[in-house]
Amino acid sequence: MNKVFKNADDAIKDIQDGAVIMIGGFGLCGIPENCLTALVKKRTKNLTCVSNNAGVDDFGIGLLLKGRQVKKMVASYVGENAEFERQLLNGELEVELIPQGTLATRCMAAGYGMPAIFTPAGVGTEVAKGKESRVFNGKEYLLEYAIDAGFAFVKAWKGDKLGNLIYKETARNFNPLMAMGGKITIAEVEELVEPGELDPNQVHTPGIYVHRIFQGSHYEKRIEQRTVRPKKS
């Protein structure tokens, strides 16, 4: 199976309107920006985006929101995107907020082939409304279903042509979980190498989870929140 694609446009070309896509990254760290930019150019619409957060206004998922290509956001944190806020408050965007650990575990469950999980997170809150619960050892747990996503976009530091991936430091975040969860996982990497060049002990995502891979370009390495100390007089 040839997993190597020449660029992001080629890798995402069959994604149709209405697709559900898991998107790796945390804030702006480790986001698959080439895949997202390609979707913006393709003008695919009515998307459901499953991501820890909604990015910022002019980058990543923010560009999809700006182009009105997202129908629904499934996320755990959404506080850095003014356009997201505007669409939410005006009833233009469906939003499902999920506790962060629950989101991660629902993605992981999809990768493990588990239909659902039980978690104590959200019991007794708005999150629990309309959901089945059970008591185990005297403690209440909510039933949460695995996330069903046709595609997953992930960003890695290095990958080989068999799809094995290594993430760099905190860019690891949600990427391994999203890579497991998508029915078709598309990985963009900063450096694409031949099979055998990666140390097997360093591989975070084995190639069995990755269906398409390409070497990305023009990574901006943005800083979401820059904090500096006051200059000493």
Question: What is the residue extent of each domain of the chain?
Answer: 8-110+150-213
Rounded distance between C-alpha atoms, residue 173 and residue 167, angstroms? 9
What is the identity of the amino acid at 72? K
Lookup: tokens for 197: 């060049």
pLDDT of residue 226: 76
Q: Which residues of 42-77 are buried (b: 16+ CB within 10 A; e: fewer)?
A: bebbebbbbbbbbbbbebbbbbbbbeebbbebbbbe
pLDDT of residue 142: 96
Asked whether 170 and 138 are in contact (CB, 8 A), the reply is no
In tens digits, the chain (233 residues) has pLDDT values of: 799 999 999 999 999 999 999 999 998 899 999 999 999 999 999 999 999 998 888 888 999 999 999 999 999 988 778 899 999 999 999 999 999 999 999 999 999 999 999 999 999 999 999 999 999 999 999 999 999 999 999 999 999 999 999 999 999 999 999 999 999 999 999 999 999 999 999 999 999 999 999 999 888 777 777 788 888 76
Tell me the backbone φ, ψ of residue 208, rounded to 5 degrees.
-60, -25
- SS3 of 77, please? strand
Q: How many CB atoms lie within 10 A of CB 127?
A: 18
Asked whether 22 and 149 are in contact (CB, 8 A), the reply is yes
Specify the fold of 8-110+150-213.
Answer: Glutaconate Coenzyme A-transferase (3.40.1080)
Sign of CA dihedral 56, 36, 96, 133: negative
